[in-house]
Every structure is written in C-alpha cells, then in structure tokens.
Amino acid sequence: MERTTTIPGRQPTEGQLALAKEVAVGATRTNRGVTTVPASVYTDPNHWAREKQALFSRLPQVLCPSALLPEPNMTVPHDATGQPLLITRDGTGQVHVFLNVCRHRGTRLVEGAEVQCGKRMTCPYHAWTYATDGRLLALPRPDTFPGLEKSDFGLIELPSCEAGGLIWFAPDQVADFADARTLGADFDAFAMADLHLFRRRTHDVASNWKLIMDAFLESYHVARLHAQTIGPFFRDGVTSGDQIGPHQRSLVCRAEDLDGVDLSDMAALRRVGTFAYQLFPATVLVISPDYINVMALWPQAHDRTLVEDFMLIPEAPQTDKARDHWQRSWELLDGGVFASEDFRAAALGQQGLSSGAVPHLTLGTLESGITSLHEICAEQIALAEG
C-alpha cells in the first residue's frame, strides 16, 4: 500500500509534547471517579433551546478547514447554522463570512452548496453584482436609484478568523478569537494550513449533538465499538488529555512500542499516537498518522445533528495508486468508523435515552472528558443567561 507521510520538519507544541510524555509512561486521564450526567440534557427540547441560544447563537465556531477554499476568489454557501452564510476568499486571499443575502431585495445571492470560483457574485433576481470581499460592484439601471452609494450596500459581514488551517466565525458581532489563535499553533504543528482537501461529506445523524461529541471524548469504547476496524491499532485506555479554554485536547496511544521514539518529531509522534481535539461547542479533529479529519457538528434539533466530515491529506493525489490509497482511508474512517460505528452508536443512544429507562448516564474513569464537556456547557449557559 502506498503511504504518504506528514510534512517533515514540524515539532509538537509544548502542550502536545506534555501529553505525549504522559502517554509514553502509560498514563490515563485524570481519575475523577464515577460521575453521572442527567439523560435530560440529551432528550429535553427545552434544554436544547437553551443550548442553541447560549452556545450556537453566541460563541465562535469552526465552519470548515481552510483547504475548502484553497485559492483567491472562491466562495461556498453554508446553511447548516440556521443562517444563510457565504464563506469567501477574496482576491487578496483574505477569508470573509457574509450573510448570503443580496442587499437589494434579500434574495439568496449564491445558490447550491458547492465551492464556486470567480471574482464576482451576481444576484439571480436583479443582477446586483458583488466582489468576493463583499463590495457592491455594479447594479443594472443605476439611474433608477438616484443618490444610492454603492459603498453603503456591501454584503453584511460576520466576524471571522482563519488560524492554523481552520476558518471560524461568530454569529454574534462581539467575538473573541483568542482561543482560535492559540489552538492555531497546535494545528500549525500538523501543517494543517498546507493540506489538500480530498473528500467532504455531510451525515444526517438522528442524535443529540453531545452524544456524537461524547465518542471523541473518551477512549473506553475504542477497543470494543471499533473492534473490527481501528480498535486493534490502539492500547486500551492509555490516553492523556487537557483543556485550552473551553476546548479539549487528547492523545490516545497506538499499539506500537514507544521505546526509542523521538517525541519531539511530529511525524514520529503521529505514528504512535492519535491526537483528537474537541473544539467547543461542536467540532472534532482526529489526527491520523498521515491525514486529518475535521468534523463540524451542526445541531438541527435536540435529536438531530448534521456532521460535515472533511478529510485533509498532504497533497493532491498524483497517481491512481495514490488516489486509491486515500480513498480506502476515507472509506475506512468516514464510512466505516464514523458513520457505521460512532454515529450509529449515538443514534442508538438517543433511542435508548428517549425511552426514559436510564435517568442518568454513568461515566467511568476513562470517560472524564464527557463530564468536562457537560461542565463547560453548564458554565457557558450560566454566563449567557446571567
């Protein structure tokens, strides 16, 4: 099988190296004992309404990897947040997030859901035309709009930030992207901004968004749920983790022997351990040895979540053999591990919890990341609600 390695010369950040040193000595995550979480936080529509207002209508969130828009003058509509968004990279390479709404009569400006290339975006209704930086460039029959200043009719822009190969936005005009930039240093260690987008797919999962996040916040299930796929590649329960603001970072040890591994070499470290990032509120990154999956979760209801999965590889495949190699990896992770195992388990969990048979979830010492997520949610809801 053809194998492409990570870009050489990268070193882990201090935080990544600290997790690696813990895993090297067989560490497990901090023992918080057995904890519980009320089932209602997954099944109660009223609780979801509070989360929507406090978390998803207020906090910065990852929209997509930078690799979705690799060149200047590219645009892509994005509708999963509940707002019609338009992500663009303008002629200078700067990223913007606009409302996908023409300033004339409110018509959707760019249709579809695929990436489009071009310096101009023209409204299908009356042909008002905009640049990828949001400026109104032209309109037919300007004489019929006496006194109109085109500079006053640019697209409505929302706060955004590009850091470490990810594009974030904030639904609220008051945005703090400090954590995004801090995390960007970690993602730069993976050379994520230089990667190529191989595949993307959106999954419609009949589950609360937190049940999906839970699968990436604990290693207890890996040897069991993934017994027929990736489970044999990992050591059961050998993991470490920490937090950056409300975001969580973990490292799970692979089955290879760590003796003699230079943990300061990122390529070597990725061969013996898998980093996972849980970016609050609802984005997951899984760092495999030679590719990265970015999963952006977009809750649609208390029991339904869209998950957009992006697979990033070092470079565009140059041969059929290389393309076949990456396709097999895509089918293993996206279709096999994520869709058929993790997302299926979340949907089955939603069915079970909705029955009322289990009033609270019982979490063991390998599941402390889930407890942390619920604590962070409670803190952020309390902040938003005063």
> What does DSSP assign to residue 229?
T
Domain that includes residue 71, residue range: 61-162
pTM (2 decimals)?
0.94
Q: In which band, very low, low, confident or very high, does the pLDDT at 254 lie, cut at 50, 70 and 90?
A: confident
Domain membership flag for residue 239: yes
Distance CA 9, CA 16 (A): 16
Domain membership flag for residue 176: no
* Last-in-domain residue among 162, 181, 209: 162
Residues 347 and 359 in one domain: yes
Q: What is the mean pLDDT of residues 99-109?
A: 98
Task: State pLDDT tens for residues 167-226.
Answer: 999 998 778 999 999 999 999 999 999 999 999 999 999 999 999 999 999 988 998 999
Q: Which pLDDT belongs to residue 27?
A: 66
Task: State pLDDT tens for residues 66-79.
Answer: 999 999 999 999 99
Q: Range with the lowest mean pLDDT among 19-33, 259-273, 317-331?
A: 19-33
Domain membership flag for residue 132: yes
Residues 135 and 223 in one domain: no
Residues 118 and 34 in one domain: no
Q: What is the mean pLDDT of residues 297-321?
A: 97
Largest alpha-carbon pair distance within the chain?
76
Domain membership flag for residue 123: yes
Q: Where are the alpha helices (DSSP H) in the chain?
A: 14-24, 40-43, 45-51, 178-188, 209-214, 222-225, 266-272, 320-330, 344-354, 368-385
Residues 53 and 202 in one domain: yes
Q: In which band, very low, low, confident or very high, does the pLDDT at 361 lie, cut at 50, 70 and 90?
A: very high
Residue carrying structure tokens 């604990």:
218
Residues 337 and 227 in one domain: yes
Residues 147 and 238 in one domain: no
Q: In which band, very low, low, confident or very high, does the pLDDT at 354 lie, cut at 50, 70 and 90?
A: very high
**Total tally of structural domains belonging to the chain:** 2
Q: Looking at residue 258, which CATH number applies to its domain?
A: 3.90.380.10
Q: Looking at residue 73, which CATH number applies to its domain?
A: 2.102.10.10
